[in-house]
Structure 1
């Protein structure tokens, strides 16, 4: 089973990776200082909303991963490595924001298995097997220059891109409802006349998903455990939720993420051993043991900061006409 290294005390990893070979633009800089701290309840609500968003994307199956958590994260990291650098240039980012505005093939930057493994904190051999699976499924190709995914311009991927955009809009709606004290972007920024920035939002949401998933996996120990943990957070609430603690049994939890009950039971046992979840007579809940409370609280705070970065980047790369931005650049 693939394990991610556990290093919960490290500082926030830069959103734009040095190994991608490019430098953050002002539009890509974090929206808040790394040390920013918000109320535990707000951070907990953000963690739950982010969990729901990741589970929506995972369960939609539009990525072609076939329900395998690790394969899904490898594929998203691959696409992000290939084309995410477009957003380092605000002009290019807006030019290739809408779905029908496909970046030319020459914009793709092939990556390597070793780079993907480093990005996700995975063993090389584990990553290589997942890449070979994706190659066999026609979801990526291997060339002398490296690995890349074809541009997803076909009609079936348009549906996935639209679904992803709507999922981000739903995430924003959840944040408005749960944490209205934060200055989240207005919901109407994600509506209005076409062309909407489906590709831009998908690129930034992919980067968010990788960063969020890798941080959770530092705590859970594996990407399969991460999906189980996120499902439990979504079903029962994250630590520091003001509402009464809920419990969920293994069978309905496994059904909610379309996984075998026995597998989910084993993952819950591993999460309990790490102190991340609590078992009671009515099932499990996402309430940490006292020894893990600080680690979970830090994860919740990091989740909130990542969400702030996500929406801050989208707004800076896709400004309103009143803000002087060009929407879109021809």
Structure 2
């Protein structure tokens, strides 16, 4: 494979591609963190997060209302949450209605979700649970790590940080997380779980290259198949905290569609899939979303080398 000469434009593009790869590790760390915080299986966690985002969507992006509830101890009252239906959550995740209904019922049983006129909400009390408070702090640390490695080029405002904005950072992180899942799902025409499996496999395949700015200037196509590190179904299941049989079933379906291939003792996302026009376009959109996310974080004071906010 002949690599094109590097100029300032191609170097900038390589920097964006590198950021897209680095964000994959952050993405998978967020999977583990959120799964631990909700302390349920991954489908239940996705249901929880999708309900929470829908509840807060009307003012997460409204600067005035968002900053009113940005700090660790500033949790919006239930009356300000917008209810969402099971149908809307199922459509967003691409998961069958009955599956989402069943997992929403589990959340209601455990007090992590409530039925109100108009649909479902995650109540105030769920966000004040000690496990959730720990997750907010852990999320800040993970996000700061991403900013330190990939956020150096984000526009940094000259205005001072606004103080404790840890909950707003979590809300933006959940938006980013769910948007990436949806983007992968649309690009590959798969549901949320299959999208997560693809993300996990792809990251392990090229993890050894993720922080190498000089290698593979033609990424996002990336390394040749022989240079991709295969990952076992067991390892994917463990990474995502999914049942082995569920993971195996998704891997098999993805292989039947040609999105994954057997390699050695595991599977890879083959180069020919990475080179598909719709996949290249999807990676471009992922990079743009990551850059926009980093820019929003910079506005909130999450900048390279920044200390955690004072609560």
TM-score (norm 1): 0.71
Aligned equivalent of 2:100: 127
Structure 2 residue 201 is the aligned partner of structure 1 residue 232: yes
Q: Are the structure 2 counterparts of residues 217 and 290 from structure 1 closer, same or farther at C-alpha, using a change threshold of 3 Å?
A: closer
Structure 2 residue 61 is the aligned partner of structure 1 residue 92: no
CA distance in 1, matches of 2:197, 2:168: 29
Identify the match of residue 131 of structure 2 among 156, 164, 171: 156
Aligned equivalent of 2:257: 274
CA distance in 1, matches of 2:301, 2:163: 14
Measured after TM superposition, the shift of residue 262 of structure 1 is 4.2
- DSSP-derived class of the 2:262 partner: strand
Equivalent residue pairs, number: 277
- Which ranges in structure 1 are unaligned for 5 or more consecutive residues? 1-36, 321-326
Q: Is the 8 A contact 2:221 2:271 kept in 1?
A: no
Q: Deviations over 1:162-217 (max 9, x none)?
A: 112222222223424xxx6xx2256xx9xx99943111111111111111111212
Q: Deviations over 1:104-139 (max 9, x none)?
A: 333212222222233334443332222222212211
Aligned equivalent of 1:241: 222
CA distance in 2, matches of 1:212, 1:291: 16
Aligned equivalent of 1:173: 148
Aligned equivalent of 2:41: 67
Identify the match of residue 174 of structure 2 among 187, 192, 206: 206
Q: Is the 8 A contact 2:20 2:290 kept in 1?
A: no
RMSD (Å) for aligned C-alpha atoms: 3.5
Measured after TM superposition, the shift of residue 161 of structure 1 is 0.8
Aligned equivalent of 2:216: none
Aligned equivalent of 1:297: 280
Aligned positions of 1:33-112 closer than 5 A: 41-42=14-15, 44-60=17-33, 61-64=35-38, 66-68=40-42, 70-112=43-85
Q: Which moved more, 1:119-128 or 1:52-61?
A: 119-128
CA distance in 2, matches of 1:209, 1:41: 23
Structure 2 residue 117 is the aligned partner of structure 1 residue 144: yes
Q: Which moved more, 1:115-124 or 1:128-137?
A: 115-124
Q: Are the structure 2 counterparts of residues 221 and 292 from structure 1 closer, same or farther at C-alpha, using a change threshold of 3 Å?
A: farther
Structure having the higher helix fraction is 2
Q: Which moved more, 1:114-123 or 1:80-89?
A: 114-123
Measured after TM superposition, the shift of residue 278 of structure 1 is 2.9
- DSSP-derived class of the 2:276 partner: helix
CA distance in 2, matches of 1:266, 1:259: 11
Identify the match of residue 238 of structure 2 among 221, 230, 255: 255
Q: Is the 8 A contact 1:248 1:283 kept in 2?
A: yes
- Which ranges in structure 2 are unaligned for 5 or more consecutive residues? 1-9, 207-218, 303-308
Q: Is the 8 A contact 1:239 1:287 kept in 2?
A: no
Q: Deviations over 1:213-271 (max 9, x none)?
A: 11212316222222221211221128523694222233333333344444433322222
